[in-house]
Structure 1
Amino acid sequence: MNFSDKLIRLRKAFGYTKKYVAESVGVSCTAIAAYEDGKTAPQYKIIYKGIANLFGVPLEFLMVEKPHDEVVLASITKRQTRLRINAISCDIDRICAEIRGLRKIERLTAEDALKIIGAVTGNE
């Protein structure tokens, strides 16, 4: 698997935008798009290091194609999915706690609380 495929898969697994990756590494968004399109590759090892650090992968993983790359990426994707689900679950717990607090303070009805939940989650 080549560098551009790895970059795309890692970025999506972490839920990062091209803009976020670009800002984190210190390059333009256009550069990240070109890397992902396979039009160019980073010219400086420091950029590879920045990308490796951002995603927590060894530098060699990005720079060298190996037969087990797909397995490594699948493992990373699975781990990141679990982390994102846990983060969302924590957010939901926090939102529910805030709504319970508001219900006590504002005497919100259950119907009003459901409207707030719908507005926050986009399920109005």
Structure 2
Amino acid sequence: MELSEKLKQLRADKKVTQEKLAELLHVSRTTISSWETGRSYPDLQMIVEISDYFEVPLDFLLREDEKMIKKLTFDTRNKRRLKSFILALVVLVIVVAGGIISIWNNQISVMNPRNVKIIKVEKVAINSRIVDGKEIGKDYKYYVFVKMNDPLHTFDMVVDGGNIYKNNDVYVDFQVKNSINIFSNLRNNKNLKKLVIHSFVGQNIVNGRKENYNIHKNIFLGGPESNKRLILDAESNK
């Protein structure tokens, strides 16, 4: 006797309708009907519930139904394959994500001036001098004290700015380090950091560049493409 016939007989012996059995097993009435006609089979978990409800052993339900045994075996193998595939996919995603994070973390980026709050600026005069027989005029260098609000970056060991001179403007970029240690970054970036904007250097005039002074210039924090934060304007930078 196949499972479909046994299920129909058990239900009849217990005087339970298809609707009532469907309600007890949390399935639809058409599902019960499909099981009893042999058009489909319950899964192993559902067979256990049927066994418990009718108080019959699993062996009784499964015995003599070769189609049912083959289906359960096939379903079990497919579930194992699916689990193995999902596990392999998860491992692959973790490895790839870990590699990407590892490559990104600790790399050097350019500081975004929007994420920086300037606390104070100290201007230091550099008097005129002679270098390699060339006269270098008076200039200024600056110490810019800042705090940064950027959870994915922190200041690198290098805190000297790279000056870019363009017409009457000076743009200064600083380096920051990529970091996924968000809470540590937010804590450390609250500390005051001293950034250095260097004055005109002797090598510039030796190389024939005469206008690369900070004095009388507008000084921006960030590169020419951002110029969002002005540290000093030309009028105050005399």
**TM-score normalised over the length of structure 1:** 0.50
Q: Higher relative CO (CA 8 A, sep ≥ 6), structure 1 or 2? A: 1
Q: Give 1 or 2: higher helix fraction.
A: 1
- Answer 1 or 2: which has greater strand percent: 2
Which one has the largest radius of gyration? 2
